Structure 1
């Protein structure tokens, strides 16, 4: 019988059809040396003596008794042939399929890489977008100044001498300026009628009305200040106390947009439709407020709550002259606002945690998706076969 290797016919020793190999490993007759073309399977390439030797000539060839011979490189088993190679014997049709060489495996590797590439790319894009979103969120929080408030019992402005600055701006459109005056009194015995320091009267409606603007100080004790005609030399018969309050504030004016407090709670109060002969009582609860910026500079202001009532007062002598009363009392609780910004080390730590955690989760997710995809492919191939 002949065996074809590289397109050449190689004569093999014929054997009887009834011949059977012994239990021991049979000896194989050496093939006749033939000239071989240059290549990786000649004797010289395998390191065997003699350029004409063909150690692989019978690899996979049918031998007497249905045996095949193939070279093996693993230790143990088979007979060692020339050049230190071992030969193992198997019956024809029972040997395992040879493993694909590197050039033959390239298409399968490329197919696996192509199948995995879309999954990896999709997960990577999602991770990058997620990291970008979290990074911008943290950057915005780092740049933005945070306002923290707290409450405590204390007098924050101890250097004020026990005084509170007041700013009042009110219009009385139906009362002449010579009749308008400001009176101040408190529980410390202060009683001042017709206060004129740091005040100004502006005529309205061709002198029919008046706008009063004034800045003054009050003591840090319960008391009141009121706009009335008490300081006028001649009292009007029917004074009209309808009014509009433009501004009433205590302490420093805070120019801070992030702090929303009742620093001018009566600003815009309109009582033009009220009874002209009625008195107006505004009961104020003043709350000390401190604002501290990032540099540590403090501003002292006051918020207040307000309740009001309107009435016409009478006594045994007749109707009492109406007035606009501002009765105040101070709260022992102080509100403090402090500007704070997130420390740089905390921002860096958060960014590192975001990146590391996102990539860790992305790796686990990518592995799970790819494993599920491969399992699904195997199931589909099994159904097809």
Structure 2
């Protein structure tokens, strides 16, 4: 026992040898208050949820992802808007994959859906299917765009004539003078929408491959001939004082729509230049992102992206704002979204800012530090008071 007494680091003093002062009581109250504040701060740190990112290789690179788009064209009717999606795996018509067109009527601000099945028929179906003979009916004229000496092709409706003209790379304009289009009312309806200055809103979701690609909006139907992608701009060029690609991007996102909102950079972005022959480009870098809670359970599996915008006039020449910048000449008016999918994924995991052991250690350290400082301060004040009493 005597040996243990020599090892005691917590030596006690006799109760009657202790001296209590008023300053010591004040310092004790202050130390208690500070300790309670520090303990509260330690608990807030312990209960706070933080998100720590981790960069890994995306194992879902072979799966398709959704592209969610809501964009309004203020000065372009739906009949003139053509949507193409090009990627490294081929050409895909995204209208048939979930994007829909809605007419923007200026008179009452109403929004009415417009069905664009004819455009899908023109682009997706084989030529022999679109321009085929119908039993019990005459073979409709293709107006020289396709051979008809042996009734190989028959254009019995306006959509078939449009497809035949596109195959021959002829200008279709608004279908004036074509009997099939006149009888179906295509010409009258199209002119009415143009004269009323209708706009168009495109919204919906579509599946895309996780590879680099481009989605563009251009005027007039498109065709690929001899590995060259061409557009029929005849109707767009016919009206000199109408049509431009001023637009408002209400929302643009990649992946499933979840309650987690990342604040995408193109939400509510507007481009209002009022220029007919202009091309707008958006270069997007898409990074897959996963959110997990504190128990490593999935909250959301979405995507983030950054964007660089660039626009130029088709006639080329010097930039109006930067005189030392020279734009290229040529191209097709419209807008294009160039997206590049990253092969890496960001995993954001939620966890407590401190562990339980870290919380206990922080509380002990805070209280011990406060008491040590208070003890030193009390001893210093007591020594000063003792010296003054001796001098007196």
Q: TM-score, normalized by length of structure 1? A: 0.60
Tell me what 1:36 maps to: none
2:53 & 2:254 partners in 1: Cα distance?
A: 19
Shift of 1:192: 2.5
- Does residue 373 (structure 1) correspond to residue 385 (structure 2)? The answer is yes
Tell me what 1:95 maps to: none
Q: Is 2:283–2:338's contact at 8 Å kept on the other side of the alignment?
A: yes
Match of 2:373 among 358, 361, 366: 361
Q: Which has the higher helix share?
A: 2
Q: Deviations over 1:197-248 (max 9, x none)?
A: 3223222224611111020121111111112234489843254111011111
Shift of 1:156: 4.5
Tell me what 1:292 maps to: 292
Q: What is the SS of the residue equivalent to 2:95?
A: coil
Q: Deviations over 1:299-354 (max 9, x none)?
A: 32222221222223369xx9754121001112334322110112223212221222
2:94 & 2:34 partners in 1: Cα distance?
A: 68
Q: Deviations over 1:120-169 (max 9, x none)?
A: 121012101211221121121112101112333x11435xx431211011
1:319 & 1:138 partners in 2: Cα distance?
A: 64
Match of 1:217 among 191, 207, 213: 207
2:284 & 2:42 partners in 1: Cα distance?
A: 42
Please say which of residues 334-343 and 248-257 is displaced more in the overlay.
Answer: 248-257
2:99 & 2:389 partners in 1: Cα distance?
A: 90
Tell me what 2:314 maps to: 313
Tell me what 1:6 maps to: none
Shift of 1:370: 0.8
Q: RMSD across aligned C-alpha pairs, in angstroms? A: 2.8
2:70 & 2:360 partners in 1: Cα distance?
A: 50
Q: Is 2:277–2:314's contact at 8 Å kept on the other side of the alignment?
A: no
Change (3 A) 1:290 1:195: same
Match of 2:98 among 195, 198, 201: 198
Tell me what 2:6 maps to: none
Name the larger-Rg structure: 1
Q: What is the SS of the residue equivalent to 1:124?
A: helix
Q: What is the SS of the residue equivalent to 1:196?
A: helix
Tell me what 1:125 maps to: 29
Tell me what 2:217 maps to: 227
Match of 1:176 among 77, 89, 92: 77
Tell me what 1:347 maps to: 359
Change (3 A) 1:194 1:370: closer
2:339 & 2:37 partners in 1: Cα distance?
A: 51
Say how many residue pairs are matched. 258
